[in-house]
Amino acid sequence: MTVNFLLIGSAKSATTSLSNGISQHPDICFCNQKEPQFFSKENWKEHLHEYHSLFKKTAKLYGEASTNYSKFPHYNQNIHKDIFNYNPNMKIIYIMRHPLDRMISHYIHSFNRGHEPLKDINEAISSNIHYINTGKYAMQIEPYIKHFGRKNVLLLFFEDFIINPQSVLNTVFNFLNIEPIVIDNKFLNTNKSFDKSIIHHKYDNPKTLTKKVKKVLLIIKNTVFSSDMINKKPQLDEQTKSYVLENIKSDVKKIETLTNRDLSHWLI
């Protein structure tokens, strides 16, 4: 088998909901593991059998979703070439969200998962270029276009998906050259910035009974008492907002050109 398509991000732009919808198509086998991040590892060639074992049925197309594939240069810096070497006919799907909204959601998730030590969002964003780079959509997608061609890269928008998920899914199915089908909305999760079941990443895969019990207790604690989590939308101050917009302005213009879409509201 060969993986035929990748949903590469952007992070916190409804990629989970979109992948849930795509995976319902009978012609598709979607990866059994959420966000395997396989090509983010530089030694991926040594683990192809393990990667392919994550796909549990025979299908016309195989796909997976890993947002770290669009967080260059913070992971495998040869990722675009590596994916091309794996499958030069790979189709790439990339969904984008208003950069400031995406960044705030990204920060909330990172803090609640224990990846972000700073409780103040303005300090966090000003001191970590990762937030800016992940929201530079043109910077992330242009290397994929260079390797795979514009016709093999599908650019989508979060706002379109929220308004009409079926229309966006139909676009995806057409892009993958399979017959569109109607997807029940029950398979689609709304974008949740404040998911109370979220816990520190160190408890993702508990190995002992004690750690498993602790994981359950933490989920219960977060549901009832969330004082140690961010549970309301933080605000960017004007200085941070200006800093972000200045850094992404030229990138947004490139996305406008690539999509033939007016995105001036992203820069307000």
**pLDDT tens per residue across span 174-193:** 999 999 999 998 878 755 65
* Token pair listed for 39: 């090509």
Q: Are 97 and 158 in contact (CB under 8 A)?
A: yes
* Other Cβ atoms closer than 10 A to 143: 16
pLDDT of residue 224 exceeding 50: no
Q: How far apart are CA 247 and CA 188, in angstroms?
A: 33
pLDDT of residue 215 exceeding 50: no
Q: Tell me the pLDDT band of 198, cut-offs 50, 70 and 90.
A: low
Q: What is the DSSP letter of 77?
A: T
* Token pair listed for 261: 């879409």
Residue 254, C-beta contacts closer than 8 angstroms, at least 6 positions apart: 138, 142
Q: How far apart are CA 143 and CA 157, in angstroms?
A: 19
Residue 169, C-beta contacts closer than 8 angstroms, at least 6 positions apart: 18, 21, 22, 180, 183
The answer to pTM > 0.85 is: yes
Q: Kindly list the domain boundaries of the chain, sorted by start residue.
A: 5-193+238-267, 195-229
- CATH 3.40.50.300, domain 5-193+238-267, yes or no: yes
Among 80-89, 145-154, 193-202, 233-242, the least confident range: 193-202
In the predicted model, what is the mean pLDDT of residues 106-122?
Answer: 89
pLDDT of residue 105 exceeding 90: yes
**pLDDT tens per residue across span 62-104:** 999 999 999 999 889 999 999 999 999 999 999 999 999 999 9
Helices (H) and strands (E) counted in the chain, each on its own, are 11, 5
Provide the percentage of residues in the chain whose pLDDT is more than 70. 85
In the predicted model, what is the mean pLDDT of residues 196-216?
Answer: 55
Q: Tell me the pLDDT band of 204, cut-offs 50, 70 and 90.
A: low
Q: How far apart are CA 20 and CA 30, in angstroms?
A: 9
In the block, tokens 């359950």 appear at: 216
What pLDDT score does 187 carry?
77
| Mean pLDDT taken over the chain | 89
pLDDT of residue 172 exceeding 90: yes
Q: Which residues are paired to 63 by β-bridges? A: 5, 30
In the block, tokens 């909901």 appear at: 17
